Structure 1
Amino acid sequence: MATASIPSELVGPGHPERQYLDLMRRIREEGSERVDRTGIGTRSIFGTMLRYDLSDGMMPLITTKRVYWKTATREMLWFLTGETNIRPLVLQGVKIWNEWPHANYVRQTGDAISLGDFVQRIADDEDFAARWGDLGPVYGKQWVDWPTYRYRKDGLYEKGEGINQVAEVIASLRANPGSRRHIIEGWNVAELDRMALPPCHKTYQFHVAGNRLNCALYQRSCDVALGLPFNLWGGALLTRMIAQQVDLEPGEFVWMGGDTHLYLNHEELIAEQLGREPQGLPRLEIKRRPDSIFGYRIEDFEVHDYQPHPPIKAPVAV
């Protein structure tokens, strides 16, 4: 069952954000130093867990630095469209995926165009965006259009109809809430080499307890300083949306990490954030219930009581 509601006056040492800060501190102090794909290096621990109560509108929205929750929400809505090109995000001012196609463009063409000029060209030139803005079959493609192939009598295979995992999970939650198969999976082994970045938050499993919907998210790789605040919000947001669609109350969001790390060049960010105290208990209001999980708009979401510390900037490892 979900944990009991957290009192609105709870701040300081018992604040739910403490577990995030404690995880960051533990990695900083105990993590093993490792060489990673980016060449920057990390401190890492393996096998971690955070738990958040989502009742009464509560959300794991980090307050010790400003998290741009609307950006994270726009990304989640983009995933649900099945889109894999960054142009719809760019046109909304969302920058979180820009570095990967930019790096690919520079690598393949030798044109040392700046990131800003590249992104502007993505926005202005639809044909350029179609060629250079696609990320391959990342998250949303697997979520709503997992590819299938049918065997033919001549021994060959032909492309079948894609599987909409999100729609199927919602249908199964309604028809068979006690099932242990309410899963959305992003790790399509056959297509990993075509993705700009293989899915980090890869497996979502949903669980009904009474009238509450719980979700466990397994993340194979997690940048705790920059990525995890977005991942916590995104996973909890998806849980809230699905709960609304299947007439259940939000329960508990459980986040589980595999390789859970801090980048060595984020030390200033980490030190500054660990010196801050959590403040307030942000809550999310979903102002409208669309006919489908795919019908939400950014205007449907409003956050209350969010007064975070200032943002902390740090470089993204590509």
Structure 2
Amino acid sequence: MLEEQYLNLARFVLENGQPKGDRTGTGTISYFGYQMRFNLAEGFPLLTTKSVPFRLIKSELLWFLRGDTNIRYLLQNNNHIWDEWAFKNWVESDEYQGPDMADFGLRSQTDPEFKAEYLKQKEWFCQRILADDDFAARYGDLGLVYGSQWRSWQTADGQTVDQIQKVIDQIKTNPDSRRLIVSAWNPGDVDDVALPPCHTLFQFYVNDGKLSCQLYQRSGDIFLGVPFNIASYALLTSLIAKECGLVPGEFIHTLGDAHIYQNHVGQIQEQLTRAPYPAPQLWLNPEKQSIFDYDIDDIKIENYHHHPRIKGAVAV
């Protein structure tokens, strides 16, 4: 069963990982170097042992594919998964005059009064991003994150490279190439973005009419982030396969620092008690060909049966 790949990862890190500090101050159980393989012919690898909101996954991927780096598009689609990083830029700016929001990620987990104020401030921030063009331009942009690196990589001579279009063209014209690679890790930019890319590089492989993809992810939040990453890259592989006249093969997920945050241990343990349902199926609008033409309603999940949601705080 597809989902056992993920559940085995969670079990393995719980049993074999080591305590490790991290940038957020939350603390993790960490293991370095792990690989999962998902055969996309068996179904779409969206977890069923907890509810995973596919609408957030597809709107985020479409945001990347647009080359967009401003959270306004995400907010317009009721997607809040990047809010905290933009909000952090706002509350650390000279313009911000509100209550002290230092370490809001950690403080909101232990102080109910602070959490209520934090949520109030973040809601105000999101509404202003939606309503105020100038404010959105100044505080909604996350810098040269995935969308920028994928669609307009900056070269030393001032040119830009559309890596996604280039790799699609290569798959169509030279499918045996060993250079079907897209990189989000630009050493010159990693210190100037809201969050340096966690999923850093991916490579495609064509064989027997199938398109496979391997992702190298430097840092993987097993409870919250990795389920999104699995589904997002399975979707990306399926979209590109369709455009190139191929069928989806495997998604191979290689993790560097695979970790469970200390405040997610209980949630992971609960998830591991649940039996998976059969994998759902992916539906793509047959009238759309180019991956750049898809809208939210052109991508759907069918027959998705799942256990209830398990909440967990994002480490910022």
The question of a shared fold, defined as TM-score above 0.5 by the shorter chain, is answered with yes
The equivalent of 2:235 in structure 1 is 237
CA deviations 1:123-150 (Å, max 9, x no partner) are: 1212111111110000010001001232
Listed as ranges, the matches of 1:1-318 within 5 Å are 15-55=1-41, 58-108=43-93, 109=96, 111-112=98-99, 114-150=121-157, 159-160=158-159, 162-318=160-316
- TM-score of the pair, normalised by structure 1: 0.90
1:184 is matched by which residue type in structure 2? V
How far apart, in 1, do the equivalents of 2:297 and 2:177 lie? 33
Number of residues paired by the alignment? 294
Segments of structure 1 that go 5 or more residues without pairing to the other structure are 1-14, 151-158
8 A Cα contact 2:5 2:38, kept in partner: no
Aligned-pair CA distance for 1:96: 0.2
Secondary structure of 2:250's counterpart equals strand
Aligned-pair CA distance for 1:122: 1.1
CA deviations 1:225-266 (Å, max 9, x no partner) are: 000110000000000000001101111110000000000011
8 A Cα contact 2:10 2:222, kept in partner: yes
Superposition RMSD on alpha carbons, in Å? 1.2
8 A Cα contact 2:211 2:250, kept in partner: yes
Secondary structure of 2:189's counterpart equals helix
2:221 is matched by which residue type in structure 1? D
Aligned-pair CA distance for 1:287: 2.0
Identity fraction in percent:
46
8 A Cα contact 1:245 1:289, kept in partner: no
1:82 is matched by which residue type in structure 2? G
How far apart, in 2, do the equivalents of 1:307 and 1:186 lie? 33
8 A Cα contact 2:153 2:162, kept in partner: yes
8 A Cα contact 1:243 1:249, kept in partner: yes
How far apart, in 2, do the equivalents of 1:26 and 1:70 lie? 29
How far apart, in 2, do the equivalents of 1:101 and 1:171 lie? 34
1:201 is matched by which residue type in structure 2? H
Segments of structure 2 that go 5 or more residues without pairing to the other structure are 100-117
How far apart, in 2, do the equivalents of 1:289 and 1:218 lie? 32
- TM-score of the pair, normalised by structure 2: 0.90
8 A Cα contact 1:63 1:278, kept in partner: yes
Secondary structure of 1:189's counterpart equals coil
